[in-house]
Amino acid sequence: MGKVIRFLPLIVFIALGAVLYRGLFLKPQELPSALVGKSVPAFSLPGLKNAERVLTPADLSGDIVLLNVWATWCPSCRYEHPYLLDLAKSGQVSLYGLNYKDERQAALKWLDDLGDPYLLNVFDEAGRLGLDLGVYAAPETFVIDHHGIIRKRFAGPIDAKVWQQEFAPLVKTIRQEQARGE
Amino acid sequence: MLTRILCLIALLFAGATIVLAMPSQTQAFDDPVMEKRYQSLIKELRCPKCQNQNLADSNSQIAVDLRNEVYDMLNQGKADMEITSYMVDRYGEFVLYRPKVNQLTYILWFGPAVILFIGVVIVVIAARRKAASKKELSLSAEQQQQLDEILKEKD
């Protein structure tokens, strides 16, 4: 007993050191989404290009859907845009946009100038859908599987490295699930 | 003249600091009870973007939006619980500055009390040991007598 007590400060020090060391590598910005495992929240919002058209979750169709939240006021969105164009070309996923708290004209000009990787864009001017999705900034990207269930939320811009690390394994998993008929 | 300009600059900076420290326009209520509920809610809810601030303190776009959301929901007659669970449904438990008591948060809620308890136990044990060792050091009646005799002989 006496020996244990003598080493207690050392043990506490090592334990504390381990906890704090681990804390150095945690990323508190990467919040888990409250929506992972749930379906896309209901919405009915106009399209970006066609304001007359009313879009609902049913319009986000495809095997694996990527819903990318973007805006022209967001510098990181400009950074990730070229990669989204590549991604759209690769055809691995169905890429949809959620134009978040933006101006329609500015957003349309952005797509004209920089290219349009999206199958469709939902125009969420008031940020209602953004709020229901738990979006707190742009860009954010949601992965929706073939059952319409949100599988992942990623905050921050996507590039090739991020795609390989964060998205590619999940896309593979979903493909396997589809192959098994789940 | 130079001093005057410097004073003016200093004042400008002071003014700017005050403006920055204040959250932009928060909503006002006619009913003081509602006002109080609103204030306590935006203090209890964490800003998802700037994580060490609550909604009341933060000026980020999302904090402004969420403050407006709280305002609207209060005006719709929603209960405080409904408003907090609405936020939790969207942003997760994380938005609560006072997390709910559950398996994940036991250590937050009870950790400090447990550590305090362990500390008290250690102090009590240490104090007792000290007292016990003091007792061992004191002389028995017989020993005291012997000591007295020795001392007497010396005299």
- Work out the mean pLDDT of chain B and round it to a whole number: 82
For residue A132, what are the contacts with CB-CB under 8 A and spacing of at least 6?
A: A41, A43, B90
For residue range A35-92, what is the model confidence (pLDDT) as tens digits?
A: 888 999 999 999 999 999 999 999 998 889 999 999 999 999 999 999 999 999 998 8
What's the structural domain count of chain B? 2
Residues of chain B with Cβ-Cβ distance to A137 below 8 Å are 49, 61-62
pLDDT at res. B59? 86
HEC profile of A48-86: CCCCCCEECHHHCCCCCEEEEEECCCCHHHHHHHHHHHH
Chain A positions touching B51 (Cβ under 8 A) are 28-29
| Phi and psi torsions of A154, nearest 5° | -125, 125
Query: Which structural domain range is residue B68 located in?
Result: 25-95
Write b or e for each residue in A141-164: b if 16 or more Cβ atoms lie within 10 A of its Cβ, otherwise e: bbbbbeeeebbbbbbbbbeeebbe
Q: Is residue B117 in some structural domain?
A: yes
Average pLDDT score over chain A: 90
A16 contact partners, CB below 8 Å, separation of at least 6? none
ipTM attached to this prediction: 0.74
Q: Do A98 and A67 touch, CB atoms closer than 8 A?
A: yes
**Mean pLDDT across B106-118:** 90
Which structural domain range is residue A158 located in? 35-180
The tokens describing B121, both together, are 């136990």
Give per-residue pLDDT as tens, A86-110.
Answer: 999 998 899 999 999 999 999 999 9
The minimal CB distance from A31 to the residues B48, B66, B89 is found for B48
Residue A26 resides in a domain = no
Three-class secondary structure of residue B45 per DSSP: strand
Domain membership of residue A159 (yes or no) is: yes
The answer to whether position A66 is within a domain reads yes
User: What's the rounded Cα separation, in Å, for the pair A37 and A39?
Assistant: 7
Residue A21 resides in a domain: no
pTM check: above 0.80? no
- Is position B5 within any domain? no
Among A68-82, B35-49, B50-64, name the most confident range: A68-82
Q: Is residue B83 part of a domain?
A: yes
- Domain-embedded: residue B68: yes
Looking at the domain assignment, is residue A94 inside a domain? Answer: yes
CATH code at position B88: 1.10.8.640
- Candidates B51, B89, B92; nearest CB to A28: B51
Query: Does residue B81 share a domain with residue B136?
Result: no
Lowest mean pLDDT among B101-105, B108-112, B129-133: B101-105
- Mean pLDDT along residues A131-157: 91
In a domain, A125, yes or no: yes
